[in-house]
Amino acid sequence: MKIGGMPTAQSLIKNKRRMQELIKYGKKIVEAGLAHSHFGNVSKRVGDQMLISTTGSMLDELEGQIVTVPVDTASPDELDVIASTEVNVHRAIYKATSALAILHGHSKYAVTMSMLLYEPGEQMLIVPEDAESVYVLHEIPVVRGGVGSAELARNAANALRDHKGIIVQGHGTFARGATVDEAYVILSSVEHACTVKYLVDSAKKRINV
């Protein structure tokens, strides 16, 4: 809440707590191997604003590296130049879905699986093998688009209307949630599903099932 354009002490404390939450999950993402330090980004929506990690920041050292920009902007905000290069993808996802948090990682098996399966024209979906991933994710769409491009923003937002986690082919995972914690569960689940599927597919090939 703002009074006369100045943020109140209460709103500053709330904002600090939200930043600390993103800092905590940035560390968890790197520790769990869901992104390597300088890649990936995190954001949280608060009304018509979002807190987002800055470009070039290390996900496990986000102190002082989170900026607030508008979700909906007709022309780019002045802070956009230091926000993540994928700020437009986060914006498109917030506009298209009910997400209140978005985590983006570059985990190994998710990226690998997204590059293995598809011929041109084939429907790009990874169907998990293990029961928990089927329950949490149903299936994982794979979309295309260059880093930070309008095409990627459109494709990711469309796929995330009906799914909580998607993979950008050869790039990484975008996970959404009503909370940062939920988005983290989805980010981890996508990697788990892809790891199990990769191992099952490899084992089947070895024993010619």
Of 128 and 172, CB closest to Zn ion: 172
Residue whose C-beta lies closest to Zn ion: 172
Tell the smallest beta-carbon distance from residue 168 to Zn ion (Å).
Answer: 7
Tell the smallest beta-carbon distance from residue 178 to Zn ion (Å).
Answer: 23
Of 133 and 173, CB closest to Zn ion: 173
Tell the smallest beta-carbon distance from residue 37 to Zn ion (Å).
Answer: 13
Distance of CA 131 to the CA centre of its chain: 23
C-alpha span between 15 and 168 (Å, rounded): 30
CB atoms within 10 A of CB 4: 4
Show the tokens assigned to 190: 């996508």
Q: Is 172 in the site for Zn ion (CB under 5 A)?
A: yes
The answer to whether 159 and 97 are in contact (CB under 8 A) is no
Q: Is 26 in the site for Zn ion (CB under 5 A)?
A: no
Of 138 and 145, CB closest to Zn ion: 145
Q: Is 165 in the site for Zn ion (CB under 5 A)?
A: no
* Cα dist from 1 to 7, 13, 21, 73, 144, whole Å: 6, 11, 20, 21, 39
Give the binding site for Zn ion (CB under 5 A): 172
